[in-house]
Structure 1
Amino acid sequence: MATPKAAPAAGAGSGAAADPRRWLVLAVICVAYLMVGLDLTVVNLALPSAQEALDFTDADRQWIVTAYALPFGGLLLFCGRLSDLIGRKESFLLGVAGFAVASAVGGAANSFGMLVTARALQGAFAALLAPSCLAMLATTFTDPKEKGKAFGIFSGVAASGAALGLIVGGALTSALDWRWTLYINLLFAAVALVGGLSLMTKQPKTGARMDVPGVLLASGGMFGLVYGLSNAAEESWSTPSTWGVLVAAGVLLIAFAFWQTRAAYPLVPPRIVLDRNRGGAYLTVLFVGTGMFGIMLFLIYYMQLNLGYSAISSGVAVLPMIVCTTVAAGAGAAKLLPHHGPKPLITGGMVLSAAGMAWLTRIGTDSGYASHLLGPLIVVGIGMGLIYSAALGTATSDVSPEDAGVASACANTGQQLGGAIGTALLNTIAATAATGWLEDHVNGQPTAQQLELASVHSYTQVFWWCTAIFAVGAVISGLMLRSGPLPTPAAPAADPSEQTETAHS
């Protein structure tokens, strides 16, 4: 009787697990994904310098951020399916090369329009690159133990990219010039391109088909959702450019969901998101993307505007969180996820993150770093590591080869939407809280001290909301995710030639 072979992961090429270069491929994937993660925040600290150099207005400044977020969030599902269609290696290399060219154009920009165009191109190629990275990772490692270690390393990179962007952006802007926040991508891209060309193997075509109506509905809805939320963060929820666009986006996304149940080759097959574990993973990254802006945005504001930290100092201050995230992600994916499954890691990570955000509500106008900030950062870092190690591994678990790219894109979409929701929601909460405090405590023109107290009050309100977001995420993940380890793919049927050989033996 023939002995069954070990089952490959979804979309894995034969013999991928035995490839001695697979760990180098992982390093290349991590370099490319780190580049995408950095650019979510690396330009933020350089905006004042760029504004001075290119002479654009405060109102225009937000478009440098939004121009990146719009195509990134809007094109993820399309690009995820595109990677299934043209091949993961090809989409990876195209994404890296395009991102590098866009970064070079942005660094050399001599006008606001040129910089915005470059940032939009960065976002479009990031939408192609991000799901390709996760899909390539899922199909390169087939051994469960090795896959756990690989996802642990990748999860640490994915979870810490935005925080590292604050450090890198502050350092480059202070030491060199704002343009280097874009030029630095050329170094990452060069490593990723050389490594991708020399190490990655071309994977077989999956037979995926493109759902053109689904692409139009999903991309239009996602563009509208990200734009509406971005506009709400800067303007108001009551303006037609906010609520009108959000309503239109909602209609398009509802139509998209309806179409996916009837399309012959749906862009996002319902079987992907209706699986309890994968659906729970996508919701997880949505909650995390929303709640993390409490630290990525408002804790940085607090350190710089209230405590007087420099751009570099505030970036370095979040280093303990990054280290804890990386260590917890590695331990979670390699040791805990294979034995216990995603439910305890995600739920426990959400609880820890909620506890850390609640701890941050104790800040005051003159809080010390060691006494008020270090502890919460460590706790949130551990929570984030546990969440990402489980969520990213679960997002692509047990999917068919033709769906690996779009399953990866669903996870990236959740993260991008969470960031957009977090920016709009938390900015609104902060502004309302500060205004309310001043109305309750000030008669006439507020003093500088009163303005500072109002701003600290607004931050604590944001942190309480982040606590609630993570707490709700813990409840939902606890109810939605299945108990126990992730399912192992069934062993493939024996090859007919093997059966013949066995019959003759």
Structure 2
Amino acid sequence: MNTTARKGPSFVPAISVIAGAQLMVVLDISIVNIALPSIRDDLGFAQGDLQWVLNAYTLTFGGLLLLGGRASDILGRRSMFIAGICAFTLVSLLGGFAAGPGWLIAARAAQGVAGAVIAPTALALISTTFEQGKQRNAAFGVYGAVSGSGAVIGLLLGGALTDSLGWRWVLWVNVPIGIAIAIGAYYLLPRTAGNPGRFDIPGAFAVTGGLTLLVYGLVRAPEHGWSDVWTVTSFAAAAALLVLFVVLEARGSQPLMPLRIFADRDRAGAYAVAVLVGASLISTLFFLAQFVQEVMGYSPLRNGVAFLPNALCVLAFSGLAARLVTRIGAMPLMATGAASMGCGLWWLSGIDLDTEYASGLLPGLLLFGSGLGLLFVPMAMTAVAAVAERDSGLAAGLLNTSQQVGGSVGLASLSTVAADATKDELPPGRPEPGQVARAVTEGWSTALSVSVGFVAVALIITLLLIRAKPQTFQAAGGARPREEAEAGG
């Protein structure tokens, strides 16, 4: 395979293309958050259905990431990267013309399909474009900063666009960006030939269908009850499809997710942490964006600016983590990051109707962002370290899948927690607007408290499983890759 590394002055334009694509994909998970009230009023969404504007994207994204990573391994990474960018650009354009809820949700689902091709391919391209050692670590630092801060940047950009041009521009903004990235990828990224293989279509359908039904059941339960026949049916069908997926992967000759990839303890631990971090990150931004706009009364633009310190912390600490990981290894950075995120979430869970930005939100946002920056880069590097070249797209796809599956299931489950807590807080009869606001805020606060538990479990997994040493992330000449070292003793 032609995987010639890019050197010297090519680093900046090449990483700009890859990071730009990753930013566009991650940004679209959150950019609609601040536009949700405007979308609800314009298209006539029911309040309970609004989260499907997010879940339609994250479910197809997360459910098809493994297939997207496999496609890049078989068909060639640059070709699939450009195809994904073009498709993402087109459906973003069409989604901006949505005339009703169904149209918008369908467009968001199609965006997720295209994003499932882009994201794993972008991460795999880092391994095949940049030399191992300082150059590749720097590229991972940029990638981690973009991935970790993209959701917050989405809030800022979404607020600016919604305030100035209207909510439709949160989709249309992808059009000029996508065109520029596709052209840049064609001229700046190396062509890579594909590997022999075939697609595991049954496995892709099983995992995507199972996750969709699981989230549907979690969304339906608060309104219709946990014993509702359709809620129970959804959970049962989800369980059956996910078990079928595992069976297919264990028995298939060319599975979508070869179970051997979990044999490495560090990699398996990184994937587990990614699930929990995804659940925490997406849910936290979903609840806080609504709190700042609906309760604190911020405009969409001011709402986005409120999260800017969080993004700056992610950027700064991602760069620091990329430099330190070759000196102290992954575990100290990931553990410190998870602890900081947990402290930030604990602080943010104290929101109420009297919360002020400087004293009530800012400290928590700074702690959460700093921790995310420290954790994300070594987590991503550990997930793809020392993997066989033929599996680099798969490893990257599984990392992204872990985050997005965690985000979808986490948002659905915490929305259920928030809804139940809100019901318990509402007085009987016809509550006054102030009582409703207090009850809804209590629901969000309870959900954020549960999110602290997600990060606590991530910290425990990090301490128990992550053992990747500094040599794992250094240049090949300075140390053997982990798999070779273990084989040779």
Fold conserved between structures, TM > 0.5: yes
Which whole-Å CA distance do the structure 2 matches of 1:188 and 1:112 have between them?
A: 25
**Structure 2 CA distance for partners of 1:309 and 1:49, relative to 1, 3 Å:** closer
Amino acid aligned to 2:321: G
**Structure 2 CA distance for partners of 1:34 and 1:353, relative to 1, 3 Å:** same
The 8 Å contact of residues 62 and 116 in structure 2, kept in 1 or not, is answered as yes
Offset of 1:90 from its aligned partner? 0.6
Determine which of 179, 194, 199 is the counterpart of 2:183.
194
Offset of 1:306 from its aligned partner? 2.1
The 5 A counterparts of 1:150-169 are 150-169=139-158
More moved, 127-136 vs 443-452: 443-452
Query: What residue is the counterpart of 2:15 in the other structure?
Result: 26
**Structure 2 CA distance for partners of 1:327 and 1:208, relative to 1, 3 Å:** farther
Which whole-Å CA distance do the structure 1 matches of 2:356 and 2:439 have between them?
A: 19
Which whole-Å CA distance do the structure 1 matches of 2:111 and 2:195 have between them?
A: 27
Query: What residue is the counterpart of 1:314 in the other structure?
Result: 303
**Structure 2 CA distance for partners of 1:220 and 1:466, relative to 1, 3 Å:** closer
The 8 Å contact of residues 233 and 424 in structure 1, kept in 2 or not, is answered as no
Determine which of 65, 74, 95 is the counterpart of 1:85.
74
Query: What residue is the counterpart of 2:416 in the other structure?
Result: 428
2:279 equivalent to 1:290: yes
Offset of 1:412 from its aligned partner? 1.0
Offset of 1:78 from its aligned partner? 1.2
Offset of 1:87 from its aligned partner? 0.7
The 8 Å contact of residues 96 and 169 in structure 2, kept in 1 or not, is answered as yes
Secondary structure, aligned partner of 1:108: coil
The 5 A counterparts of 1:239-254 are 239-254=228-243
Residue deviations 1:13-36 (CA, integer Å, cap 9, x gap)? 454053642331111111111111
More moved, 41-50 vs 74-83: 41-50
Which whole-Å CA distance do the structure 1 matches of 2:225 and 2:319 have between them?
A: 41
Offset of 1:293 from its aligned partner? 3.6
Offset of 1:173 from its aligned partner? 1.4
The 8 Å contact of residues 102 and 121 in structure 1, kept in 2 or not, is answered as yes
Which whole-Å CA distance do the structure 2 matches of 1:126 and 1:272 have between them?
A: 23
Amino acid aligned to 2:444: Y
Query: What residue is the counterpart of 1:9 in the other structure?
Result: none
Offset of 1:62 from its aligned partner? 4.5
TM-score by length of 2: 0.90
**Structure 2 CA distance for partners of 1:468 and 1:62, relative to 1, 3 Å:** closer
Amino acid aligned to 2:377: S
Which whole-Å CA distance do the structure 1 matches of 2:101 and 2:439 have between them?
A: 34
**Structure 2 CA distance for partners of 1:186 and 1:360, relative to 1, 3 Å:** same
**Structure 2 CA distance for partners of 1:336 and 1:74, relative to 1, 3 Å:** same
Query: What residue is the counterpart of 1:3 in the other structure?
Result: none
The 5 A counterparts of 1:171-210 are 171-210=160-199
- State the Cα RMSD in Å: 2.5
**Structure 2 CA distance for partners of 1:364 and 1:253, relative to 1, 3 Å:** closer
Query: What residue is the counterpart of 1:391 in the other structure?
Result: 379
Offset of 1:459 from its aligned partner? 2.9
Offset of 1:61 from its aligned partner? 4.4
2:85 equivalent to 1:96: yes
Query: What residue is the counterpart of 2:130 in the other structure?
Result: 141
**Structure 2 CA distance for partners of 1:14 and 1:425, relative to 1, 3 Å:** closer
Query: What residue is the counterpart of 1:222 in the other structure?
Result: 211
2:315 equivalent to 1:326: yes
**Structure 2 CA distance for partners of 1:448 and 1:121, relative to 1, 3 Å:** closer
Which whole-Å CA distance do the structure 1 matches of 2:430 and 2:223 have between them?
A: 24
Determine which of 442, 448, 453 is the counterpart of 2:438.
453
Which whole-Å CA distance do the structure 2 matches of 1:428 and 1:113 have between them?
A: 23
Offset of 1:59 from its aligned partner? 5.9
Which whole-Å CA distance do the structure 2 matches of 1:244 and 1:444 have between them?
A: 32
The 8 Å contact of residues 358 and 467 in structure 1, kept in 2 or not, is answered as yes
Fraction of identical pairs, as percent: 38
The 8 Å contact of residues 325 and 473 in structure 2, kept in 1 or not, is answered as no
Secondary structure, aligned partner of 2:470: coil
**Structure 2 CA distance for partners of 1:445 and 1:113, relative to 1, 3 Å:** closer
Query: What residue is the counterpart of 1:5 in the other structure?
Result: none
More moved, 442-451 vs 339-348: 442-451
Determine which of 357, 368, 390 is the counterpart of 1:380.
368
TM-score by length of 1: 0.88
The 8 Å contact of residues 358 and 463 in structure 1, kept in 2 or not, is answered as yes
Determine which of 245, 251, 254 is the counterpart of 1:256.
245
Offset of 1:318 from its aligned partner? 0.9
Determine which of 366, 369, 382 is the counterpart of 2:357.
369
The 8 Å contact of residues 31 and 191 in structure 1, kept in 2 or not, is answered as no
Residue deviations 1:271-311 (CA, integer Å, cap 9, x gap)? 21231111111111110111124430222222222222222
2:67 equivalent to 1:67: no
Query: What residue is the counterpart of 1:300 in the other structure?
Result: 289
The 8 Å contact of residues 97 and 189 in structure 1, kept in 2 or not, is answered as yes
Amino acid aligned to 1:381: G
Which whole-Å CA distance do the structure 1 matches of 2:203 and 2:338 have between them?
A: 33
Amino acid aligned to 1:288: V
**Structure 2 CA distance for partners of 1:105 and 1:19, relative to 1, 3 Å:** same
Offset of 1:188 from its aligned partner? 1.4
Aligned residues: 477
Bigger Rg, which one: 1
Which whole-Å CA distance do the structure 1 matches of 2:122 and 2:72 have between them?
A: 10
More moved, 391-400 vs 217-226: 217-226
Query: What residue is the counterpart of 1:471 in the other structure?
Result: 456
Residue deviations 1:412-460 (CA, integer Å, cap 9, x gap)? 111111111221221122222233234xxx5755444443433333333
Which whole-Å CA distance do the structure 2 matches of 1:443 and 1:246 have between them?
A: 31
Offset of 1:51 from its aligned partner? 4.5
More moved, 335-344 vs 175-184: 335-344
Which whole-Å CA distance do the structure 1 matches of 2:413 and 2:200 have between them?
A: 32
More moved, 287-296 vs 240-249: 240-249
**Structure 2 CA distance for partners of 1:462 and 1:212, relative to 1, 3 Å:** closer
**Structure 2 CA distance for partners of 1:341 and 1:208, relative to 1, 3 Å:** farther
Query: What residue is the counterpart of 2:397 in the other structure?
Result: 409
More moved, 320-329 vs 284-293: 284-293
